[in-house]
Amino acid sequence: MNTTTTAIAVLGNGRVGGNLAAALTRAGHQVTVADRTPGAAADAARTARIVINATPGAGSLERLTALREELRDTILVDVSNATTDGPDGLPADLLYPGSSLAEQLQQALPDTHVVKTLNTMLYPVMTAPAMLTQAPEAFLSGEDPQAKQTVRALLTDLGWQPEWITDLGGIRTARATEAAILFVPHVIRSSGFTPFAVSIAR
């Protein structure tokens, strides 16, 4: 349980955003969830120290670029993957091959500290990593070491053990973790929606 209350805005109130908001509230943070109501995202981001992007990745860049001023000097935790959808609604192809959503966001929002994480697992694992029979892994990608340290502490509040968190380096490394989404539809078709995470065996 965190002893420091942080103002956090969660953009997106679907399964991912709702799950994260509930868990962070339980951990003692002051959480605001922004739905699609006009102005809701701007209002939430304006007063937050940390903003979590849990919006559908295909529209994230446009939505967040519109919040450039509200996101100035904040930490933007990007948990989304930008893909096209296949016929069954599962991810198909990457929208930013040769790049990543996280890189696109950092380029569009130079005064914001973008940190990519929690995008290599099914959403229940984000807030309950101990549910898996093997230790999962959460990866961090971002340019600002202090921002990544803050996000690392946030992950700890969500139940992630320090040894389960791996800092991959700069924002460019998000290309690797975002590409891991291409595993997801095949695993789901093979095994169903059983919670899982991409992890590195050592």
Return all residues near 54 (Cβ < 8 A) that are at least 6 apart.
Answer: 10, 11, 12, 14, 16, 17, 20, 79, 80
Give me the pLDDT at residue 35, please: 82
Nearest to 104 by CA among 122, 78, 73, 126: 78
23-64 pLDDT tens trace:
999 999 999 999 888 899 999 999 999 999 999 999 999 999
Q: Supply the DSSP symbol for 51.
A: E
Stated as kind and residue range, the H or E segment containing 131 is: none
Mean pLDDT over 125-136 rounds to: 96
Contact status, residue 105 vs residue 135, Cβ threshold 8 Å:
no
Residue reference for tokens 């229940």: 124
pTM greater than 0.85: yes
Task: Quickly state the pLDDT bin for 7 (edges 50, 70, 90).
Answer: very high
What is the per-residue pLDDT across 131-172, written as a single tens digit (0 to 9) for each?
A: 999 999 999 999 999 999 999 999 999 999 999 999 999 999
CA 89 from centroid of its chain's CA atoms:
20
Is the Cα dihedral 64, 5, 118, 195 positive or negative?
Answer: negative
* pLDDT tens-digit map of 74-107: 999 999 999 999 999 899 999 999 999 999 999 9
Residues 119 and 197: their CA atoms lie apart, in Å, by 9
With H, G, I as helix, E, B as strand and everything else as coil, classify residue 177.
Answer: helix
